């Protein structure tokens, strides 16, 4: 499944990032690395972007970027 498909408040774990190297590098600088937990917390009224909590920070991503981040349900 991909990050843009995750319901608000659901905690998932990053499995991989399928995007060009420059975008992948930028996402990794934000802490989006394999094995890290992330959850959607707030969606803009217009539907985009969505704010995701990762490592105690909120990062806003558009759906096209979030659709490149492969995730799986995190074990509690």
Percentage of the chain exceeding pLDDT 90 = 88
**Domain range for residue 11?**
3-73
Compute and round to an integer the Cα radius of gyration of the chain. 11
Token duo for residue 72: 């799986």
Residue 6's pLDDT is 95
CATH number of the CATH domain containing 49: 2.30.30.90
> What is the C-alpha separation between 39 and 20, in angstroms, rounded?
23
Residue 76 has pLDDT above 70, yes or no: no
pLDDT band at 17 (very low <50, low <70, confident <90, very high): very high
The pair of structure tokens assigned to 25 is: 């590098």
In the chain, the number of structural domains is 1
**pLDDT for 3:** 96
Per-residue pLDDT reduced to its tens digit, 40-71:
999 999 889 999 999 999 999 999 999 999 99
pTM, two decimals, is 0.89
With beta carbons less than 8 A apart as the criterion, state whether 8 and 40 touch.
Answer: yes
Residues ≥6 apart with Cβ < 8 Å to 41: 8, 9, 51, 52, 53, 58
């Amino acid at each position: 499944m991909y990050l843009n498909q995750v319901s608000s408040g659901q905690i998932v774990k990053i499995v991989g990032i399928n995007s060009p190297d420059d975008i992948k590098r930028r996402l990794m600088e934000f802490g989006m690395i394999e094995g890290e937990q992330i959850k959607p917390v707030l969606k803009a009224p217009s539907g985009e972007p969505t704010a995701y909590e990762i490592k105690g920070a909120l990062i806003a991503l558009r759906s096209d970027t979030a659709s490149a981040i492969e995730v799986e349900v995190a074990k509690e």
